[in-house]
Structure 1
Amino acid sequence: MMASDADKPAQKLCLIDVVQRLGVAYHFIKEIDDALEKISHDPFDDKDDIYIVSLCFRLLRQHGIKMSCDVFEKFKDDDGKFKASLTNDVEGMLSLYEVAHLAIPGEDILDEAIVFTTTHLKSMVTNSQVNSTFAEQIRHSLRVPLRRAVSRLESRYFLDIYSRDDLHDKTLLNFAKLDFNILQAMHQKEASEITRWWRDLDFLKKLPYIRERVVELYFWMLVGVSYEPNFSTGRIFLSKIICLETLVDDTFDAYGTFEELKIFTEAVARWDIGHIDALPEYMKFIFKTLIDFQELVMKYFCEAKWLNEGYVPSMDEYKSVSLRSIDFLPIAVASFIFMGDIASREIFEWEMSNPDIIIAAETIIRFLDDIAGHKFEQKREHNPSAVECYKNQHGVSEEEAVKALSLAVANSWKVINEELLLNPTAIPLPLLQVIFDLSCSADFMYGDAQDRLTHSTMMKDQVELVLRDPIKL
């Protein structure tokens, strides 16, 4: 089915979309790449179909192929607004809504598309203009657009939706169900291994103040980096790293006195990077990752110092410290180590040069975390958040500060979208995809102003769907 040339481009696009949303696209990487490359060069006959044009645009951009947003101009009227007749095509409206979230800076027409489609889709659901299953899909997408959804959760959701589609392909559906259950069994074993590691080290007995979030943190790496079988070792390693990061974070955030934290930070600061040149290449990567944790501790201490002194920094000062203290870079660096030969020395040097895509990802994670946790954290002594810093610097209300930070998050998504379109570049798309996926996982963890990591019962249902409950065949 994937390799056949018998299908029309529109049919092939629909097949690729379903295969991707079911979570089995990793079996057909070459076939999908070849098909989309061919479609990007060959004209097709459905250029007036808003659903197909939007679908083509979304799939090509997801694969690093830039398609101009000018293709949507034909769907506007003489007044420069989207045609009212589009609202008669509910599936097309949802497709346009989804594609608008792949905008890059300067693509105003896609910003207009979000406003246009959001308004009408909400109305359609409210007025019961669509059947219950499609209404469910619309509500789901309005909560989390496909572009920002974590792939494993989205696949589990779509498996259920696709099974209710009268036109679904039974072979493809059964294949996807089997694949999901096989991977789930692997993921269960990994979660069990990490849990044993945590118990054997007896962290909870020695450090009773820390949050026990072993399974949740593994789940974060599963949905945020890669669920595929060839990344098993990487998932386990990254989960252990983020467990240790959380342990240090809790120590600084909720337990250690300022004097204790000062002594601890001074001890960590004595790690010496001066010997790195004497190490073999593979050990340089490992040592540099460890040094990244040194930097993380320094950032944590700076935040603790702000709290101790009652100091609220400016936004620029806050970002210089707290974007990095979100722990993103060490996880991204460690992820690349497990990506095989495509992660060269030049790639690591690029990653450490603070490129725009890294800054954008850190901004998304930091600001979403701050918006979600601000009110809870301020009930006790806590480091100043971006919300406080923005309010203090600009003399605005909390609501206005949150609005400004949310806009910064939206603009950062556009930067990431643009970076992913700079293909071919010196940075392979699979590596950029890791950065993108981690950003999506932050949207899951902290979206809707909810801190699902601290209040872990909020993610209980999702963890059970992905890790505990197999799909009935």
Structure 2
Amino acid sequence: MSSPISTNLVPSQHGNTSKENRHLSNFKASFWGDVFLSSPSQMEMDAGTQHEYEELKQEVRRILVANMDKSSQKLDIIDAVQRLGVAYHFEKEIEEALQIIYHHHCNHIEIDGDDLYTTAVRFRLLREHGFDVHCEWKFQRVFIGDVKGMLELYEATDFQLHGENILEEVLSFTTFHLKLAETTVDYPLYTQIANALKRPLRKSLPRLIARSYISIYEGYGTQDENLMKFAKLDFKILQHLHKKEINKIIRWDTNCIDQLPNYIKLWYSEILNVYKDMEDSISKEGKSYRVQVAIEAVYMIFTFFS
């Protein structure tokens, strides 16, 4: 049976020395600038930073509620806000915007002229937020030359429902052609494709997506500057908060439980109990030192990520 997807093909030494001689690489300058040069433990939310943070948040909120000529523009903003990891600030605004987009979708407003990219983004975002959208008539024609559209279509298949065979075919088709396109496109699309193939949206973590997408979003050169600044500042502030929480956790002290946020208390208490049970068990074999080795391993992991 032939597939309903038609294509227009487009070519798409282990010594005790104190010093080591190492090769140096000439890395490109990071889009992040000096945002990570200072330790998160040194970063405090002073009055000036707090004011800037709140001003930028309001600017992003104004963008989300503003009227736009096309729903595709609003879809792009919502998608960027989510990928940049700041959607938790604007859940109400995003929901209201998607309600309007869903209404347009149901009434076939601004639908016929939509390209593959816009159709796929709309389908993914509406499905992701629980709206009842169907795919039977969608994605009938896929142009391999439209790599960004294919990428969005690939990510839309993450939200397929049981029995949607067309999306199974789309997943197989887009995976194959994105792997081919990965070798022919430039940054940042190359990086976005590589990330999507390695870690699909639904199998990744918001902070990991945000850390990568901040550079990608800026790399396209079409970003909203206020959203870009807000995402960077929000990421840095959250990093500082997580660092403070981890510093308390790795003290391995039951007396500090009351100083932790409620959502961490139970988890932290259980971790301490696991290590205590482990120590009680292996101490009978004279191997209680292994618990300290395990704790030191946790310190090493913490140091690596901090």
- Normalised-by-shorter TM-score class: 0.5 to 0.7
Greater helix content: 1
**Does the CA contact (< 8 Å) of 2:155 and 2:201 recur in 1?**
yes
**Does the CA contact (< 8 Å) of 1:46 and 1:52 recur in 2?**
no
- Is the partner of 1:58 in helix, strand or coil? helix
- Give distance in 1, aligned partners of 2:166 and 2:300: 36
Q: Counterparts of 1:5-404 in structure 2 under 5 Å?
A: 5-42=67-104, 43-47=108-112, 48-72=114-138, 74-75=140-141, 83=142, 86-126=143-183, 128=184, 130-196=185-251, 198=252, 200-201=253-254, 233-244=261-272, 246-247=274-275, 255=282
- Give distance in 2, aligned partners of 1:106 and 1:148: 21
**Does the CA contact (< 8 Å) of 2:187 and 2:219 recur in 1?**
no
**Does the CA contact (< 8 Å) of 1:98 and 1:147 recur in 2?**
no
The 3 A distance-change label for structure 1 pair 90 and 457 is: farther
* Equivalent position amino acid for 2:120 in 1: S
- Give distance in 2, aligned partners of 1:241 and 1:44: 54
State the aligned residue count: 224
* Equivalent position amino acid for 2:103 in 1: H
Uncovered stretches (5+) of structure 1, i.e. residues with no partner: 76-82, 203-231, 258-454, 469-473
TM-score, normalisation: structure 1: 0.43
TM-score, normalisation: structure 2: 0.65
Higher relative contact order (CA 8 A, sep 6+): 2
| Cα deviation 1:119-177 (Å, max 9, x = unaligned) | 00101113x2x113211111111001112211111111111211222111111101111
The 3 A distance-change label for structure 1 pair 23 and 7 is: farther
- Give distance in 1, aligned partners of 2:204 and 2:248: 27
The 3 A distance-change label for structure 1 pair 193 and 96 is: same
- Give distance in 2, aligned partners of 1:52 and 1:178: 29
**Does the CA contact (< 8 Å) of 2:70 and 2:110 recur in 1?**
no
The 3 A distance-change label for structure 1 pair 72 and 164 is: same
**Does the CA contact (< 8 Å) of 1:40 and 1:60 recur in 2?**
yes
After TM superposition, give the deviation of residue 182 of structure 1 in Å.
Answer: 1.6
- Is the partner of 2:188 in helix, strand or coil? helix
**Does the CA contact (< 8 Å) of 1:9 and 1:44 recur in 2?**
no
* Equivalent position amino acid for 1:162 in 2: Y
* Equivalent position amino acid for 2:97 in 1: A
Task: Work out the percentage of aligned pairs sharing the same amino acid.
Answer: 40
**Does the CA contact (< 8 Å) of 2:116 and 2:139 recur in 1?**
no
Uncovered stretches (5+) of structure 2, i.e. residues with no partner: 1-62, 285-296
